[in-house]
Amino acid sequence: MRVASPVSPDGLAEFRGLVLARGAELYRDLPWRRTRDPYEIWLSEVMLQQTQTTRVDGRWQRWLSRFPTVGALAAASPADVLDEWQGLGYNRRALALHRAAGELVAGGGALPADARALQALPGVGPATAAGILAFAFDQHAVYLETNVRAVFLHELFPGEGAVSDRELLPLVDVTCPADASDPADDPRTWYYALLDYGAYLKRTVPNPSRRSSGHTRQSRFEGSHRQKRAAALRVLLAHREEAAGGPTLEAISAELASEEEKSGRSPLSAPEVRALLDELAAEGFCRLVGDAWCV
């Protein structure tokens, strides 16, 4: 069953009934759905950005064992935070989490239940803020992420291409329950249904998100600039407890050359490695102390 767009009030009611039914049928009992702790939900939302659910399950629990509270995260060193993040990709997310935790502790330690205040934190955009509001506080929120987008495109815009988020956002807004007065149809339940139905659609039909005007294919990781940045950071973290504080440019270049050669790629030159390290340093990942590069 599909509902035509533009969507009538009756069509939206039909759409909501369909999504709730599919959500109940396809519900995934994920560990971060068993909590309402804002910190734990915030962490899951950040980890799930551009990372598969199967990779996050396990890593989320391990992170919370190491940094169980906002205060524990704020008190940790950036090196320990980055070390725990390894393998999840997009290391900027870890640094943003750490910086945001520091700001929260300075302001009292609790995540705010307000979209504007949440988005003022490092690394928290509209979707992450909406996820925290819906899943931790059961508030009405406009939560548009890839699986949610897939459902709206599949059901309300069948066969249409180049559909913009500007067209989708009002529909996401109007279909989200106003509050948690109905425990069978509150914001939390509604968005879980959308997420699970969207994940199902992506496995069973051509990805509806490709019909979004903002859709871009993720670039190849191996051999990319992102891969080389990640490799350099791994080298820095592996040597972070050395007496000198970290490896020299020459040592880093040698380790990166060995890794690139094993993968059948040409090694970076020393100037290229230095440029990579300078880039990471400018973003707060490392610093040069004497001849040593330290995290």
Write out the DSSP string of 125-187. -HHHHHHHHHHHH--------HHHHHHHHHHHSTT--SB-HHHHHHHHHHHS-SSSSSTTSSH
Report the pLDDT value the prediction gives residue 219, as an integer from 0 to 100. 63
Q: What is the model's pTM? A: 0.90
Least confident segment among 98-112, 162-176, 237-251: 237-251
pLDDT, tens digit (0-9, with 9 covering 90-100), for 251-289: 999 999 998 999 899 999 999 999 999 999 999 999 999
Report the pLDDT value the prediction gives residue 41, as an integer from 0 to 100. 98
CATH topology of domain 225-294: Arc Repressor Mutant, subunit A (1.10.10)
Domains 37-137 and 225-294 share a fold: no
pLDDT at 3 over 70: no
Average pLDDT over residues 238-247: 82
Q: Which residue is it, tokens 């890839």? A: 146
- Choice among 25, 40, 45, 283 that is catalytic: 45
Q: Can you tell me the distance from the alpha carbon of 66 to that of 73, in angstroms, rounded to the nearest whole number?
A: 8
Number of H helices, E strands in the chain: 14, 2
Report the pLDDT value the prediction gives residue 237, as an integer from 0 to 100. 94
Average pLDDT over residues 76-94: 96
Domain spanning 37-137, CATH architecture = Orthogonal Bundle (1.10)
pLDDT at 233 over 50: yes
Least confident segment among 38-47, 93-102, 197-206, 210-219: 210-219
Report the pLDDT value the prediction gives residue 218, as an integer from 0 to 100. 63
- Return the DSSP state at 278: H
3-state secondary structure 180-218: CCCCCCCHHHHHHHHHHHHHHHHHHCCCHHHHECCCCCC
pLDDT, tens digit (0-9, with 9 covering 90-100), for 166-223: 999 999 999 999 999 999 999 999 999 999 999 999 999 988 887 887 766 666 778 8
pLDDT at 4 over 50: no
250 is catalytic: no
CA torsion through residues 29, 31, 37, 43, sign: negative
CA torsion through residues 210, 211, 215, 216, sign: positive
Domain assignments of the chain as residue spans, ordered by start: 9-29+139-211, 37-137, 225-294
